[in-house]
Structure 1
Amino acid sequence: MSTALERVRAAYARIAQVDRPEVWIDLRPREVTEAEALAIDTRTAAGERLPLAGAVVAVKGNIDVAGLPTTAGCPSYAYRPGTDAPVVARLREAGAVVLGTTNLDQFATGLVGTRSPYGAVRNAVDPAYVSGGSSSGSAVAVALGLVDLALGTDTAGSGRVPAAFNGIVGLKPTPGLVPTDGVVPACASLDCVTVFARTLPEAEQALSVMAAPAGRVLPPLEQRRPGPWRIAVPGAGQLGELDEGWAEAFEAAAARLADAGAALLPVDLEPFTEAAAMLYEGAFVAERYAAVGAFIDKHADSPDLDPTVAGIISGARDLPAHRLYADRERLAALRARALASLGDADALLLPTTPGHPTLANVAADPLGTNARLGRFTNSTNLFGLAAVAVPAGAVADRPFGVMLVGPAFTDDRLARVAALLASPPLRVAVVGAHLSGQPLNGQLLALGGRFVRTTTTAPAYRLYALDTTPPKPGLVRARAGGAAIEAEVWLLPAEGVGALVAALPRPMALGSVELADGTSLPGFLCEPEALDGAREITAYGGWRAALDSLGRPDTGSRRSS
């Protein structure tokens, strides 16, 4: 187990390696975080139990971190908090180290991750696609392995949509379970602080720390109710238009739950989707104006105001009060219908979103594209429900995610059901085009891959440059005269490894790769007959070094897709 100091140093190295500056608003000085990490190591060495000792954390830029400006994605709005928000303080008390604040859709208004003067946050897997918002930077920081955990917020889906688009877990707790003090409000009565992680157990542990000592604390794992579970699943006709391949991916996720012993029940989705439309089309958007409308009115000509965000919030200024009362009455009726439709189901299974737009899609239709993304997520907080978004495979080499929604304070139950969709992870070693920043790295991320560490092989291999598109090397075990080759270790779901092998083109093959520490992991090797005429590049010590020295095309060297 690495020390807190080692994990912090590795995080800064990883940040430099992937080169995604749009993820961050502010990073804390390295010497400060290293000093905090060293203090944590001292405390744990003395026998103190810190459940998150050494966990590296990012915080969405609308949540207070002492010593850093809280911008909410708008530099002219920034203020410097004197103390951490309670959720941040609780993570740090448990041994976590906060690296900095992350980019977001300005004032947490959006589900796309592009509405920010700090730049659009590109998707972790395919940078032509949106990362999802509003907690865009936090989700991508986790997906790229820059941090272990990240905090976001979720009013309309901001803690679930980016989780789905980047192949990670997003826990949205029951409203009120986690304090929202020290959070710039979007809609104060609906806001939730959420947590992102690459695995469900990591997210659950962070949530348990964030919730305590709130009025409703999650029970210990050993006290949680076992299955079998009753899962409400809407028919395909109620889901509306989905992106190509998404209906099949959703059906496969439902089938996995059934195979795990869950009973699948029908449900009427109409009250959920009707309520979802009310979040922005009804009077509830007036609460966004109550939060920051006066600032926007006063700074209407400020160049750092996102015009789409400003238009949404200022447009709510003149909504009449009677509309809010009418909408609240209508919402109460829809909530009663929705809960009656769920009946005694433990959870409702839904696609997290209907599809995944590109940056170009959003630029062409910023309001319509964003509105579509909230079809399944917008109603959750309006109804006071809990939810968790988890990976459920890939479509067209990009992550596909589903969401489990349940009654208030069933957060633990939802996590247990979500665990049925997970599979034991496997470690794999990569040395070429699947390395971080290389053209095929997105395949690992799309399959739920998690970066673990950089290392080398045992000094027993030779490396050759193959004539392929994209360029890639061939690794072979040497009978004599081998060398250590740079490698990365990634953690992949078992089915992800299977999908990777199924799509592996010749002359590549999956075999056993021995690492410098003597362990052996599955990794990409090359069939010997493909080496005829190939240039040996063993002396460079790795694929990236060879590319830099030889000046060959490296289409992914400046991005982390």
Structure 2
Amino acid sequence: MTHMIWISRFDPAEVERRRRDAPDGPLHGQAFAVKDNIDVEGLATTAACPALEDRVAKRSATAVRRLEEAGAVPLGKTNMDQFATGLVGTRSPYGASGSVFSAAHVSGGSSSGSALAVAAGEVPLALGTDTAGSGRVPAAFNGIVGLKPTRGLVSTAGVLPACRSLDCVTTFTRTVGAARQALDLLVGADPDDAWSRAAPPRPPAHVAARPRVIGVPDGPIDLDPEHAVAWKAALDHAARVGRLVPVPIGDFLAAATLLYGGPWLAERWHGFGHLLETADPIVKGIVTPGRNVTGAEVFAGLDRLAGFRQATEPIWYGIDALLLPTTPGHPTFADVAAEPVAVNARLGTYTNFVNLLDLCAVAVPAGHRPDRLPFGVQFIGPAFADHALLDLAARWTGETIQQAGKPGEPGTTLVAVVGAHMSGLPLNGELVGLGAALEYRARTASGYRLFRLPGPGVPRPGLVRTGDGPAAGIALEVWRLPRPALGALLDGVPAPLGLGRITLDDGTEVLGFLAEEHGIRDGVDISAAGGWRHAF
């Protein structure tokens, strides 16, 4: 099977003219591809629907213009699952393509053409979109990097909507470094996009500058046998990249079912229902029920989603990223033909919830399955943790990490906290108010014990090195604090606590609050919990 990458292209002379006239920016002369639901001036935006071939864009989408302003040159528009409704890459009247690794296996969608353009070496960068996983699934099936930024961080002005409140413009690249460069060029609030939002001046307080802690499922997950073998190898690699922490993922997976099993079908109907007359029958069958969704059902769905957000939010206070397989398996064309809706739905098991829960993600290659097909995983994080995820992804692939944290930053000091000053806990606001920023999550060396000290108000921790504490140590957070603020923090910490040096599990030492041994006599030993966060 040939790779049906392109729907329309500029002729070579036009491409050469654009390259000559391109600004002298960081991407000067670099070719890129654009998914055909994103406007490029002078080319039709069909969303893989031939009835829209006369819809020639008079102005490029904001994302396209930002790359052009950096010197990049668009070659043309790429194939896709029609109206960005699908994760298989087969729902296009312009033809379907297999993975670059196997003609018998699907390429993944809906951004199939953009992923293939990069994987096949035709361009180093391509734009796609991701509502349910379309910027990650085809990346996994073709062994490349797929970055899905925080919702609204990259403008969707000039994108034919699939599900307007969830749509994201994404990138496909061969390296994490190229994804980082593209993201930095694409981000920025856009007055032409009502869903656009600017990144905060600094990441949210619970996003660490140096991500180290990776959440992984705390139980078995749904995977095909070949995928299961590759996932085990990926977990072994992950343990060399960071510290693994088991976390429950049931609420994430339950939230994922809302995308097609809840009222968000109404938003798809609102976005392109009027264009479905000549649509692919499967796409039409999926979206048409959206016209019958009631207002009451919409608000019921929003209530359920709010519950899932509330249930999953505490997980982000204890980990830097959640690691999951990008998909449960890699179907063949025969699999899709036999059960087109069911196979597609299963592909979104680990991707559908990300935009619903306002998270960001990056899909990266993770070796191969026993049958030599590529296997991919994704790092998922809270909103605006994009650069922290890229740091982890670069460490995963062995690329140079552009670290946000500066260990030697003048005028600051690192301070470890083990109690209510940790992320998401009652006294964390005091730290943030003093200008502190979370540097990294860690554990003490073995031999420390943690006590809950008696007294009124917010419970206080007492950390003591007794020599017989848990072998795995005690969980803590290391915060970067302006030196003038250290005294203010110390003034608010009563006896028997005082500053001392804490040895971490990697052998390094950091300043932190320790209790005097006489002060813990009436305390409650909570060391078995492994940390303050899980003790109550």
Shared fold per TM-score greater than 0.5? yes
Residue 24, structure 1, aligned to residue 6, structure 2: yes
Mapped partners of 1:353, 1:106: distance in 2: 21
The answer to whether the Cα contact below 8 Å between 1:253 and 1:421 also exists between their aligned partners in 2 is no
Q: Output the CA distance in 2 between the equivalents of 1:343 and 1:148.
A: 36
Contact 1:136 1:162 in 2 (8 A): yes
| Paired amino acid for 1:252 | A
| Equivalence for 2:227 | 246
Tell me whether 1:168 sits opposite 2:168 in the alignment: no
Is 1:230 aligned with 2:206? no
Quote the offset at 1:285 in angstroms. 1.1
Match of 2:351 in 1: 377
The amino acid that maps onto 1:96 is A
From 83, 91, 98, the equivalent of 1:122 is 98
Mapped to 1, the partners of 2:357 and 2:376 lie a distance apart of: 22
In structure 2, C-alpha distance between the alignment counterparts of 1:318 and 1:77, rounded to whole Å: 25
> What is the letter of the counterpart of residue 286 of structure 1?
A
Q: Which residue of 1 aligns with 2:437?
A: none
2:255 is aligned, of 275, 279, 283, to 275
- Give distance in 2, aligned partners of 1:295 and 1:228: 45
Matching of residue 399 in structure 1 with residue 345 in structure 2: no
Alignment of 1:27-38 (within 5 A): 27-38=9-20
- Report how far residue 248 of structure 1 moved: 3.0
% identical equivalent positions: 51
1:359 is matched with 333
Q: Distance in 1 between matches of 2:286 and 2:315?
A: 32
Paired residues, number:
389
Q: Which runs of 5+ in 2 are unaligned?
A: 191-196, 401-536
2:184 corresponds to? 208
In the alignment, residue 145 of structure 2 is paired with which amino acid? V
Tell whether 2:124 aligns with 1:148: yes
Give, in angstroms, the shift of residue 335 of structure 1: 1.2
Query: Where does residue 294 of structure 2 map in the other structure?
Result: 320
Could you tell me how far 1:424 is from its partner in structure 2?
Answer: 5.8
> How far has the Cα of 1:281 moved from its partner?
0.9
User: 1:66 maps to which residue?
Assistant: 41
3-state SS in 2 of match to 1:389:
strand
CA positional deviation for 1:342: 3.6
Query: Unpaired segments of 5 or more residues in structure 1?
Result: 1-18, 45-49, 426-561
User: Corresponding residue for 2:159?
Assistant: 183
- In the TM superposition, residue 284 of structure 1 has moved relative to its aligned partner by 1.1
Is the contact between residue 210 and residue 388 of structure 2 (CA under 8 Å) also seen in structure 1? no
1:337-352 matches, cutoff 5 A: 337-352=311-326
Residue-by-residue CA offset, 1:405-430 (whole Å, 9 max, x unaligned): 100000000000111211369xxxxx
What code does the residue aligned with 1:114 have? Answer: T
- Note the alpha carbon deviations across 1:342-369, whole angstroms, 9 max, x for none: 4321100000000000011000000000
Give the C-alpha shift of residue 29 in structure 1.
1.0
Query: Is the contact between residue 163 and residue 268 of structure 2 (CA under 8 Å) also seen in structure 1?
Result: yes
* Aligned alpha-carbon RMSD (Å): 2.0
**Cα contact 1:276–1:377 (8 A) shared by 2:** yes
SS at 1:184's partner residue? Answer: coil
Deviations along 1:354-386, one digit per CA (max 9) or x if unpaired, are 000001100000000000000000000000100
**1:61–1:101: 8 Å Cα contact kept in structure 2?**
yes
Code of the aligned partner of 2:185: V
Deviation of the 1:212 alpha carbon:
3.6
Letter in 1 for 2:373: R
Q: 1:317 aligns to what SS in structure 2?
A: helix
More moved, 243-252 vs 316-325: 243-252
Structure of higher CA gyration radius:
2
Partners of 1:363 and 1:228 in 2: CA distance:
42
Structure 1's 205 and 335: CA in aligned 2 closer, same or farther, altered over 3 A? Answer: same
Residues 20 and 212 (structure 1 numbering): CA distance in 2 closer, same or farther, change over 3 Å? farther
Q: Is the 8 A contact 2:34 2:76 kept in 1?
A: yes
Q: Secondary structure at the match of 2:322?
A: strand
Q: Which amino acid aligns with 2:171?
A: V
Equivalent residues of 2:316, 2:382 under 8 A apart: no
Query: 1:272: how far off?
Result: 0.7
Equivalent AA in structure 1 for residue 85 of structure 2: T
TM-score by length of 2: 0.70
SS in structure 2 of the partner of residue 111 of structure 1: coil
Match of 1:422 among 389, 393, 397: 397
User: Mean Cα displacement is larger for which, 175-184 or 30-39?
Assistant: 30-39
What secondary structure is seen at the aligned counterpart in 2 of 1:403? strand
Q: In the superposition, relative to structure 1, how do residues 287 and 98 fare at CA in structure 2: closer, same or farther (>3 Å)? A: same
Residue 149 to residue 370, structure 1, CA distance change in 2 (3 Å):
same
Q: Which moved more, 1:162-171 or 1:76-85?
A: 76-85
2:281 corresponding residue in structure 1? 307
Cα separation, partners in 2 of 1:398 and 1:195, compared to 1, 3 Å: same
